[in-house]
Chain A
């Protein structure tokens, strides 16, 4: 097993590492871009003294990226709020921004690619108009891209403010409208909660985990997403401590049609990261397991693309390709998918 996984499973293994192990751990963490998060996990576990000084300094120095991004997110949110509040559009934070605002441990050292927020479906148009008036621009002008997002996806085309480069994704649902699973946004809004010192809302604990699971195992390509699996692991560790979380989780997943992604999240978190999950939850989630063939395939493919392979093994290109095709398969019905992939292939040819 890779040394990074060993340490993430059990940070108390750190004092047993040799110098060679340490250098390998640094390389694996760098290639997975998990240095800052690893440094927080080490600190939370009280294992800083087990690290060679140079290694600790190097890991902890990477925290500045996350802190810088979180400051940018806070600024962007203030501006979004200013643009949307007069129109009466509420903001629900998703993913990284939600973890950071809810003060969850998973946010420590976590990098943000963009800012994800959700608005109610019936206020989507009002939100878009308000943002355009406020100076946000769509990143794509291409007509096919626009149609792709608007008719089939769960979010508007990515936007950014004309004076800043930070990308904002406006969601109105959790998963693509053309996909096999469509959790009802009304249920998410009804269960969401307000944050004590912020005007924004976040999903309730169970939904937060379920959204994260759906992102990876329903809508994602999985390959190279060890950081996303770590999100799930850390969310389960922290939210699992809260009263009634585990009892509510599986029934809630069924209500939102997210039983299958939850099954995968539990399966691969426990398998790869040794996440503590009550036995009865694992048993209940078994009802959502796929058929024997899918299960066998996923069990073989997913660990191959999630485990850090650099620098000791070759990348798992074939497994990654299968999972990439799978993610598209789950996104769209076959006819539409064929047309979409044809379109993408033609465009790549033209650009080349």
Chain B
């Protein structure tokens, strides 16, 4: 009995090293890693890998490896590979999970040109999508996380995937990386403490902790939605809430500068963005505290 269970354990470990395939919205990624701590975090966040019978088409094959042998002893490293490419310098071993997340973002941003990829948080309610473009200092991740915890369905914190053939938005539920002070702000709002992962101190972006996507949002990750509202948030400490309509040409310029692949898509990108802006209400919103903007977003006009 004991022997067989340890054998099963060995089999499980070996298959994990060979890699599991995980569903990321419209994509499937094969993730291979010998790092056990990282494997546990992957399971915490993305659940069990797809069964072999699912046989999805795999867009991304990534591997997080040890660094060279001597670096296993002194200051251990984690190295990200995507097929034959190694796009980043190694991270400290303890930051393997943020590295994986960053690497997957890189894979998507450099390859998924079937979408116009906006750099934005996206959420949905009653079939209508809200786009929160990420400008520096916008507090987008905090706001997206807070909305995802208060009745909105999380599409993505990073990628507004606009299918340029249909004009619809595609969900990509992935963990939301919260930075520094936002970690505590969101911790107060999380009903299940396990939904907030470990804090990784002193990464390139300061302290980072991930909020895993709510089960509802993962379960419905194939349900697309029509874009309805675009709000450019801007956090300014101590300022009262001020929401002002934004004219379409300004919204267009800001979004085009903010997309990952607007220039690459050429005329296709222009048409997609034009269609998006014309079909949406656009505002900019200045806010000093989370509660005020959350209640304002409850009262958005009908699209």
* A64/B261 in contact, CB under 8 A: yes
A30 to B60, CA, bound (A): 10
B241 close to A (CB within 8 Å):
no
Chain B residues near A311: list those with CB within 8 A.
61, 83
Query: Chain A: how many interface residues by the 8 Å CB criterion?
Result: 23
Query: For residue A35, which residue of chain B has the nearest CB?
Result: B111
Q: Could you give, for residues 210-239 of chain A, a 1 whenever the CB lies within 8 Å of some chain B CB and a 0 otherwise?
A: 000000000000000000000000000000
* B57/A19 in contact, CB under 8 A: yes
Stretch of A54-62, A88-96, A99-107, A196-204 at the chain-chain interface:
A54-62
* B59/A58 in contact, CB under 8 A: yes
A65 close to B (CB within 8 Å):
yes
A117 close to B (CB within 8 Å):
no
A67 close to B (CB within 8 Å):
yes
B14 close to A (CB within 8 Å):
no
Stretch of A20-28, A132-140, A160-168, A270-278 at the chain-chain interface:
A20-28
Q: Could you give, for residues 52-84 of chain A, a 1 whenever the CB lies within 8 Å of some chain B CB and a 0 otherwise?
A: 101101101110110110010000000000000
Q: Is the interface of A mostly helix, strand, loop or mixed?
A: helix
* A19/B55 in contact, CB under 8 A: yes
* A61/B112 in contact, CB under 8 A: yes
A2 close to B (CB within 8 Å):
no
A336 to B84, CA, bound (A): 35
Give which listed residue, B84, B111, B261, B268, contacts A58 with CB less than 8 A: B111
Give which listed residue, A20, A26, A31, A71, contacts B59 with CB less than 8 A: A26
A310 close to B (CB within 8 Å):
yes
Query: For residue A57, which residue of chain B has the nearest CB?
Result: B114
* B56/A61 in contact, CB under 8 A: no
* B57/A58 in contact, CB under 8 A: yes
Q: Could you give, for residues 53-70 of chain B, a 1 whenever the CB lies within 8 Å of some chain A CB and a 0 otherwise?
A: 001111101000000000
* A61/B113 in contact, CB under 8 A: yes
A30 to B111, CA, bound (A): 10
Chain B residues near A27: list those with CB within 8 A.
61, 83
Chain B residues near A58: list those with CB within 8 A.
57, 59, 111, 114
B266 close to A (CB within 8 Å):
yes
Chain A residues near B114: list those with CB within 8 A.
57-58, 60-61
Q: How far is the CB of B38 from chain A (nearest CB, A)?
A: 21
Give which listed residue, B58, B84, B266, contacts A23 with CB less than 8 A: B58
* B266/A64 in contact, CB under 8 A: yes
A311 to B114, CA, bound (A): 25
Q: How far is the CB of A33 from chain B (nearest CB, A)?
A: 10
Give which listed residue, A31, A54, A310, contacts B56 with CB less than 8 A: A54
Q: How far is the CB of B295 from chain A (nearest CB, A)?
A: 40
Give which listed residue, B28, B56, B61, B263, contacts A68 with CB less than 8 A: B263
* B83/A68 in contact, CB under 8 A: no
A54 to B264, CA, bound (A): 21
A26 to B29, CA, bound (A): 13
Instruction: Please judge, given known A-B contacts A30-B83, A31-B84, A71-B266, whether A54 and B113 are in contact too, CB under 8 Å.
Output: no
Chain A residues engaging chain B, CB cutoff 8 angstroms: 19-20, 22-23, 26-27, 30-31, 52, 54-55, 57-58, 60-62, 64-65, 67-68, 71, 310-311
Q: List 26 A-B contacts (CB under 8 A).
A: A19-B55, A19-B57, A23-B58, A26-B57, A26-B59, A27-B61, A30-B83, A30-B84, A31-B84, A54-B26, A58-B57, A58-B59, A60-B114, A61-B114, A62-B113, A64-B113, A64-B264, A64-B266, A67-B266, A68-B263, A68-B264, A68-B266, A71-B266, A310-B83, A310-B84, A311-B83
